[in-house]
């Protein structure tokens, strides 16, 4: 049987560099595809932080120049391996572009992000064309790699080695499109004729995600519901027309989770491994460890309600702030919030946490180990997103027996089933779902969850049920493979 060779191009991947769910996907999808017989290579930027983690990274000796506008910018290539898989990871280094404290800029994006990722995209093509064997699929992720399908299509003569490959653009979040001023078009090396409203331009600006969507052979996003939402307003964030025009090749495939990194049976970040059989003991031990970590002498006995995520508008943190303001004094729950993001949101959280010491614990920062511990310790996980392409937090919660309270949007619709007498009976219930984007709707759903929590048998049954669900990559990797195979069969449009 022919082995499908896949090149994944992305701006972050666990464990090398992470700001959010994209990294988790890139750290686990290649291995899942490899288990189905694909030969997957990943290419990411060699940020400063990738060298600070003690991972085995070696220079390849390969370097080349990449034309960026009128300059030749040098790329050096390092190699590593994706832990737990055979997949090669290439890291493209250029100190000026990537030897920086953060991936994209702190509170404010780096002003040269267009140049950094134009360089990365073109360097990825150069690297792909320098391999011994050609790739069949070039799989690009998010705006940072949106130029790759355009280069593949428009500059095909530069890389004959890649001419028979098919490109795929996967959208992990429509809210981040890589919008830059029009003069950055000069850096791409592509003809101005492509700077038009049907291709690379978006209201006078260069739009890199749109570029990827327009030029890729196949397009996907990370859940079926989000695939529908983005073809309409407001989900499409202005690109709904472009997406609708590509609906014949647009697929929605739910993300899987890395069940080796996220497994309460073996997680090194939690004090006592647990499964469906002994989750009570395991979660209690995590609770004790979390309380100690947060400076409490002992955990309190109220249900623990958590939020873990980026503190940005998308995640509905304002609802969590309002909710805690309303419920902090009722004594019904203890809250823990872990996140980092917009300073105004961080301040609002600090204020409400300050009003209810002993009831609200707030950790501002990015802490992978603590995220695992919170998932294990909590009873309930809040995911009140304004919109959510897929969401991994609720999938980790399910695996850790932490019942999610989610808003009915995007991937949350596809992954969480509301608890009702019927869904409990049919064994499908997995969380508490609310519709309206407001704190009262969230509060109602949380109160339903807390009521269920106070019924010990009901809750234990629900926890066992959700922990037994399979959110691994197995089924979703098959869907990707099917998409790749279907694209290979389609004639390549000229």
Question: By the criterion CB under 6 A, which residues form the site for ligand ADP?
Answer: 20-22, 24, 308-310, 338-340, 366-368, 371, 390-393
CA 164 to CA 492: how far, in whole Å? Answer: 8
Residue 364: CB minimum distance to ligand ADP, A: 8
Residue 24: CB minimum distance to ligand ADP, A: 5
Q: How far is CA 286 from the centre of its chain?
A: 25
Residue 428: CB minimum distance to ligand ADP, A: 22
Q: Which is nearer to ligand ADP, 302 or 310 (CB)?
A: 310
Q: Which is nearer to ligand ADP, 219 or 337 (CB)?
A: 337
Residue 53: CB minimum distance to ligand ADP, A: 15
Q: Which is nearer to ligand ADP, 184 or 258 (CB)?
A: 258
Q: Which is nearer to ligand ADP, 4 or 337 (CB)?
A: 337
Residue 22: CB minimum distance to ligand ADP, A: 6
Convert the chain into a string of H (helix), E (strand) and C (coil).
CCCCEEEEECCCECCCECCCHHHHHHHHHHHHHHHCCCEEEEEEECCHHHHHCCCCCEEEEEEEEEEECCEEEEEEEEEEECCCCCCEEEEEECHHHHCCCCCCCCCCCCCCHHHHHHHHHHHHHHHHHCCCCCCCEEEEECHHHCHHHHHHHHCHHHCHHHCCCEEEEEECCCCCCCEECHHHHHHHCCCHHHCCCCCCEECCEEEHHHHHHHHCCEEEECCHHHHHHCCCCCCCCCCHHHHHHCHHHEEECCCCECCCCCCCCCCCCCCCCCCCCCHHHHHHHHHHHHHHHCCCCCCCCCCEEEEEEEECHHHCHHHHHHHHHHHCCCCCCEEEEEEEECHHHHHHHHHHHHHCCCCEEEEECCCHHHHHHHHHHCCEEEECCCCCCCCCHHHHHHHCCCEEEEECCHHHHHHCCECCHHHHHHCCCCEEEECCCCHHHHHHHHHHHHHHHCCHHHHHHHHHHHHCCCCECHHHHHHHHHHHHHHHHCCCCC
Contact 278, 464 (CB under 8 A): no
Q: Which is nearer to ligand ADP, 22 or 179 (CB)?
A: 22
Q: Which is nearer to ligand ADP, 167 or 393 (CB)?
A: 393
Q: Which is nearer to ligand ADP, 96 or 368 (CB)?
A: 368
Q: Which is nearer to ligand ADP, 22 or 349 (CB)?
A: 22
Q: Which is nearer to ligand ADP, 20 or 224 (CB)?
A: 20
Residue 380: CB minimum distance to ligand ADP, A: 16
Residue 431: CB minimum distance to ligand ADP, A: 14
Indicate the residue whose CB is closest to ligand ADP.
Answer: 21
Q: Which is nearer to ligand ADP, 22 or 270 (CB)?
A: 22
Residue 226: CB minimum distance to ligand ADP, A: 11
Residue 27: CB minimum distance to ligand ADP, A: 10
Residue 96: CB minimum distance to ligand ADP, A: 28
């Amino acid at each position: 049987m022919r082995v499908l060779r896949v090149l994944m191009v992305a701006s972050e991947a666990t464990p090398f560099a992470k700001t959010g769910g994209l990294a988790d996907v890139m750290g686990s999808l290649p291995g899942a595809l490899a288990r189905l017989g694909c030969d997957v290579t990943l290419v990411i930027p060699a940020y400063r932080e990738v060298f600070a983690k003690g991972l085995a990274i070696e220079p390849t000796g390969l370097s080349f120049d990449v034309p960026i506008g009128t300059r030749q910018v040098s790329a050096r290539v390092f190699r590593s391996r994706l832990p737990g898989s055979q997949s090669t990871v290439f890291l493209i280094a250029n100190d000026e572009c990537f030897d920086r404290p953060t991936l994209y800029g702190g509170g404010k994006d780096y002003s040269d992000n267009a140049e950094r990722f134009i360089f990365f995209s073109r360097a990825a093509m150069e690297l792909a064309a320098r391999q011994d064997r050609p790739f069949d699929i070039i799989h690009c992720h998010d705006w940072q790699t949106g130029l790759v399908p355009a280069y593949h299509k428009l500059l095909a003569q530069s890389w004959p080695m890649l001419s028979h490959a098919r490109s795929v653009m996967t959208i992990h979040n429509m809210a981040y499109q890589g919008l830059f001023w029009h003069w950055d078009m000069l850096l791409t090396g592509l003809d101005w004729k492509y700077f038009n409203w049907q291709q690379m331009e978006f209201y006078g600006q260069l739009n890199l995600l749109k570029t990827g969507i327009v030029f890729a052979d196949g397009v996907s996003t990370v859940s079926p519901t989000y695939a529908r939402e983005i073809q309409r307003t407001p989900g499409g964030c202005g690109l709904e027309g472009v997406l609708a025009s590509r609906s014949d090749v647009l697929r929605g495939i739910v993300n899987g989770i890395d069940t080796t990194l996220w497994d309460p049976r073996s997680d090194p970040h939690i004090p006592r491994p647990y499964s469906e059989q002994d989750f009570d003991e395991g979660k209690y031990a995590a609770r004790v460890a979390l309380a100690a970590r947060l400076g409490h002498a002992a955990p309190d006995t109220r249900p623990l309600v958590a939020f873990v995520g980026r503190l940005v508008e998308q995640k509905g943190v304002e609802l969590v702030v309002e909710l805690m303001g309303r419920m902090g004094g009722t004594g019904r729950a203890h809250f823990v919030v872990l996140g980092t993001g917009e300073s105004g949101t961080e301040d609002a959280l600090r204020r409400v946490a300050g009003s209810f010491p002993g009831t609200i614990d707030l950790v501002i920062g990015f802490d992978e180990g603590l995220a695992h511990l919170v998932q294990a310790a909590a009873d309930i996980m809040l995911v009140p997103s304004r919109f959510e392409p897929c969401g991994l937090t609720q999938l980790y919660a399910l695996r850790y027996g932490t019942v999610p309270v989610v808003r009915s949007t995007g991937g949350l619709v596809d992954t969480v089933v509301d608890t009702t007498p019927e869904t409990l009976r049919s064994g499908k219930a997995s969380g508490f779902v609310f519709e309206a984007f407001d704190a009262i709707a969230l509060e109602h759903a949380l109160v339903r969850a807390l009521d269920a929590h106070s019924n010990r048998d009901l809750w234990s049954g629900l926890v066992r049920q959700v922990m037994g669900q399979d959110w691994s990559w197995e089924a979703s990797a098959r869907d990707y493979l099917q998409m790749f195979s279907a694209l290979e069969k389609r004639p390549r449009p000229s």
